[in-house]
Chain A
Amino acid sequence: MTQTETAPQSQATSHSSHPTAWKWYDYFTFNVDHKVIGIQYLVTSFVFYLIGGLMAVAMRAELYTPDSDLLDPNLYNAFLTNHGTIMIFFWVVPAAIGGFGNYLIPLMIGARDMAFPKLNAIAFWLVPPAGALLLGSFFFGGAQSGWTSYPPLSLITANTAQSMWILSIILVGTSSILGSVNFIITIFKMRVPSMRWDQMPLFCWAILATSILALFSTPVLAAGLTLLLFDINFGTSFFRPDAGGNVVVYQHLFWFYSHPAVYLMILPIFGIMSEVVPVHARKPIFGYKAIAYSSLAICIVGLFVWVHHMFTSGTPPWMRMFFTISTLIVAVPTGVKIFSWVATLWQGKIRYTSAMLFAIGLLGMFVLGGLSGVTLGTAPFDIHVHDTYYIVAHFHYVLFGGSVFGLYAGMYHWFPKITGRMYNETWGKVHFVLTFIGANLTFLPMHSLGLQGMPRRVAMYDPQFTAINQLCTFGAILLGFSVVPFAVNLIWSWMYGPKVGDNPWDALTLEWTTSSPPEIENWEVLPVLTHGPYAYGMNGRNGKGLNPSAPTSGEPAVEAK
């Protein structure tokens, strides 16, 4: 932190026609700079995370006692629906893809901006109205039928709020399709000429795979939701069995999107992991190609496993067989990644920064969630625990333990790049400890609730489950508080934190070669690649500048040959 600000070229010659940095109010306007858009996404989605989190705490408070004494069941359902929707469509996906993707992709591939900057801004500005539509639905009673909105339930409870919910999802879906087009063209066409495919940072591979997945699966969801919208508002009967319709058609359309959606959430996080782990372990990533190709493999196989969500929907046995096997196959590339990170950590010279702690926490939680996922992938067991809290435990281990931990790791890792300042490491650690304990206290007991048969999506339950539910509620409250040190730390450090140089972690990817925060067009002169992104010397344990507070020169810590 004692390092002086470098980036001599960028300060010596500034463009006469351009400002050198953005002002705070630029972040509230239609700005086409990918870095501004990235921050806009990050901040917006974090606000949604807080809103969705408050809903979750309210639900857990309701579940503190067996009766519905705090929220009436309709309100509980509305909270449930909007909690799930916000967390998936307005937090993890926009933060990981929109936020980190937009901020980092051009910087990592040595481009000045995305391929279509205006389209990028349009994609972002679709999100706030979509969120407003979703939150506005509370004034009309709130959508009742869960984030899956299965008919016939969604048709029976159909109201204005349900239609608003549908339009809101179609809007964010459009935003994510436009974003995907932008990412795909940017990554294919705008890498610096010197960057070969196998020198591209793994985060870029992850975003590429994610974008392909979003591109092909999102429109199918839009089709399904359009049919539902017509059923609700225009008297059609696509999903009304009494009039010749068929509810299973909805399930197919929905899960063709929503199974890939779990990878939309997790692949970018895997990308973040692949950047954070080698940098803070001071070692080249183990199995670069395996990680890159397994992203693509997940992307392709992921498009063909959706029926495992429908084992209990009268799916014929041969189909169950096929989709059980394909589901178990997806676990393989996922396992490949986990092993690669563990192997990277192995004998690395690990710096226990906040970013690294969250990355390690993610590994632990995700492995547990992945294991329970494999048990669910087998049809007989899934039928046993279907719609119980076991499911809730599973997907929160992967979604909270996987996605949220990964987003936190990314935020700490790139904070000095984005702001030019260092966050407070002690408060970062407090944040980690609270989050880790809170998450496990909340979600671990749910496995047992589910195995004992407590159904999900209910505001009231059998009194025999009270004690375990109270434990979960305590955990949820702890999780609620854990956000405070994070938010305060980041806001305070952004304003007053000690200034750091361009590359406090001595990382080797391109985004660290520009100033912190990066100047408006990223580089005065486009960088030229001299070697791959993870070439941390030939003896991985010899790293210079391991302590972020130790002075580092602008020179590479360990020169590759």
Chain B
Amino acid sequence: MQGSTIDEYQVSPNSEPSAEGAVAAHEEHPDYRVLGLIVFLASESLMFGGMFASYLIYRGVSATWPPEGTEVELLVPAINTIILVSSSFVIHNGDVAIKKNNISGMRLWYIITAIMGVIFLGGQVYEYLTLGYGLTTNVFSNCFYLMTGFHGLHVTVGVLLILGVLWRSRRPGHYGETKHVGIEMAEIYWHFVDIIWIILFTLLYILTLF
């Protein structure tokens, strides 16, 4: 019957034999956190997807988009975009560094990424303060603030993840050539935030030019 045969030689190699000669049941399973994060982010991108789709419907049924008086600013967001996109390359350098066991290099690149993230958030706050309209002005501004705000929240979480990595990296031996799951996860999350921003920037800023 299924599973009725117990073959001790086929048991997972990392299990330690116990005193009784039976095989102890505590073998560690491999670390699937990176995979889990990717699956989770696939899910999250549909949350943004729902908002993007709604935005496109509102845009489609409106005569003027964005309506008079709620035009977007372009300079600061463009600079912000450049900063965020380049930060994806910066953080990748950190990942390359740790795989060469270069912890201080990794720290350096991650610190730069965190600073770039904070600058991005600062730019967003500046933009909010100078736009001259608020969340409730009209449907465009509703979408604008909700979508950028929601993305800003994700950037904040990303910065916190990076700070978490930096905090842990102070402990000697915590990260290294073979131990860098946390670092990798922070990087993947950061790329995700970046990709979402590129779509957001296209929808909210570039498309309003046409």
Q: Does A73 contact B (CB under 8 A)?
A: no
Among A12, A185, A189, A524, the residue within 8 A (CB) of B25 is A524
A256 to B30, CA, bound (A): 35
| Interchain CB contact under 8 A, B138 and A252 | no
> B39 and A227: CB pair below 8 A?
no
The residue in chain B whose Cβ has the minimal distance to the Cβ of A224 is: B50
Using A181-B40, A513-B4 as known contacts, say yes or no to A243 and B23 having CB atoms under 8 A apart: no
Task: List residues of chain B with CB within 8 A of the CB of A535.
Answer: 2
B142 touches A230 (CB 8 A): yes
Cα-based distance from A256 to B136 in the complex (angstroms) = 27
Q: Are A181 and B39 in contact (CB under 8 A)?
A: yes
A238 at the interface (CB under 8 A from B): yes
Answer yes or no: A529 CB below 8 A from chain B CBs: yes
Docked-complex contact B47 and A249, CB < 8 angstroms: no
Taking the complex as formed, is B76 at the interface, i.e. its CB lies under 8 A from any CB of chain A? no
- Flag if A246 contacts B57 (CB, 8 Å): yes
Q: Is the Cβ of A523 less than 8 Å from the Cβ of B25?
A: yes
A312 at interface by CB-CB < 8 Å: no
Pair A189/B35 contact, Cβ less than 8 Å: yes
Flag if B136 contacts A236 (CB, 8 Å). Answer: yes
Find the B residue at minimum CB distance from A257. B50
B49 / chain A contacts, CB cutoff of 8 Å = 219-220, 223
Q: Give every chain B residue within 8 A of A112 (Cβ-Cβ).
A: 25, 29
Asked whether, in the complex, the Cβ of B22 is within 8 Å of the Cβ of A525, the reply is yes
Distance (whole angstroms) from the CB of B204 to the closest CB of chain A: 15
Give residues of chain B (137-196) contacting chain A, Cβ–Cβ below 8 Å.
138-139, 142-143, 146
Q: Restricting to B38-68, which residues have a CB under 8 Å from any CB of A?
A: 39-40, 42-44, 46-51, 53-54, 57-58, 61-62, 67
**Given A216-B46, A528-B10, A529-B2, CB of A234 within 8 Å of CB of B135:** yes
A446 contacts B by Cβ under 8 Å: no
| Contact present for A526 and B12 (CB under 8 Å) | yes
Q: Is the CB of A223 within 8 A of B20?
A: no
Residues in B with CB closer than 8 Å to A531 are 1-2
Chain A residues near B75: list those with CB within 8 A.
Answer: none
Chain B residues with CB under 8 A of A235? 135-136
Residues of B contacting A530 with CB < 8 Å? 1-5
Q: Complex: how many Å from CA A111 to CA B3?
A: 12
Question: For the complex, what is the distance from the CA of A555 to the CA of B33, rounded to whole Å?
Answer: 39
A509 engages B2 (CB within 8 Å) = yes
Whole-angstrom distance between the Cβ of A35 and the nearest chain B Cβ: 14
Are A13 and B54 in touch, CB under 8 angstroms?
A: no
Interface string of B1-26 (1 = CB under 8 A from A): 11111111011100000101011111
Number of chain B residues close to chain A: CB under 8 A? 49
Which residue, B11, B26, B46, has most C-beta atoms of chain A within 10 A?
B46
CB-defined contacts of A243 to chain B, threshold 8 Å: 138-139
> Are A525 and B11 in touch, CB under 8 angstroms?
yes
Minimum C-beta distance from B93 to chain A (A):
29
Interface presence of B210 (CB below 8 A) = no
CB-defined contacts of B138 to chain A, threshold 8 Å: 237, 243-244
A112–B24 Cα distance when bound, in Å, is 12
Kindly count the residue-residue contacts between A and B in the assembled complex, taking CB atoms under 8 Å apart.
Answer: 166
Query: Per-residue 0/1 for A182-193: is the Cβ within 8 Å of any B Cβ (1 yes, 0 no)?
Result: 101100011001
Q: Give B58's nearest chain A residue, CB to CB.
A: A246
Are B2 and A532 within 8 A (Cβ)? yes
Please encode chain A, from 4 to 15, with 1 for each CB lying within 8 Å of some chain B CB and 0 for all others.
Answer: 000001001101
Shortest Cβ gap from B38 to chain A (Å) = 9
Tell me the nearest residue of chain B to A221, going by C-beta: B50
B200 to chain A, nearest CB (A): 14
**CA gap between A530 and B139 in the complex, in Å:** 62
Interface residue A521 (Cβ < 8 Å from any Cβ of B): yes
* Residue among B12, B43, B135 with the highest chain A CB neighbour number at 10 A: B43
Known A110-B3, A220-B50: A249·B12 in contact at CB below 8 Å: no
Nearest-neighbour CB distance to chain B for A537, whole angstroms, equals: 11
- What residues of A have a CB within 8 angstroms of the CB of B24 in the complex? 15
Which residues of chain B have C-beta atoms less than 8 A from A111's C-beta? 29
Confirm or deny: B122 has a beta carbon within 8 angstroms of a beta carbon on chain A. no
Q: Which of A13, A182, A193, A248 meets B22, CB within 8 Å?
A: A13
Contact check, B1 vs A238: say whether CB atoms are below 8 A apart: no
Give A239 Cβ to nearest chain B Cβ, in Å: 10
Closest to A188 in B: B35
In the bound complex, CA of A55 to CA of B186 (Å): 46
A112-B25, A253-B53, A508-B2 given; 11 more Cβ-contact pairs under 8 Å: A12-B22, A216-B46, A217-B46, A219-B49, A220-B47, A223-B54, A238-B54, A249-B57, A253-B54, A526-B11, A559-B1
Binding site for A on B (CB under 8 A): 1-8, 10-12, 18, 20, 22-26, 29-30, 32-33, 35-36, 39-40, 42-44, 46-51, 53-54, 57-58, 61-62, 67, 135-136, 138-139, 142-143, 146
Please list 24 pairs of residues, one from A and one from B, whose beta carbons are closer than 8 Å in the complex, sorted by A's number.
Answer: A9-B22, A112-B25, A115-B36, A177-B43, A215-B39, A215-B43, A216-B43, A220-B46, A220-B50, A224-B50, A237-B136, A244-B58, A245-B58, A245-B139, A252-B54, A508-B1, A521-B26, A525-B11, A525-B25, A527-B2, A528-B10, A529-B3, A531-B1, A556-B4
The 6 tightest CB contacts between A and B, nearest first, are A223-B50, A527-B3, A556-B1, A219-B47, A220-B50, A513-B3
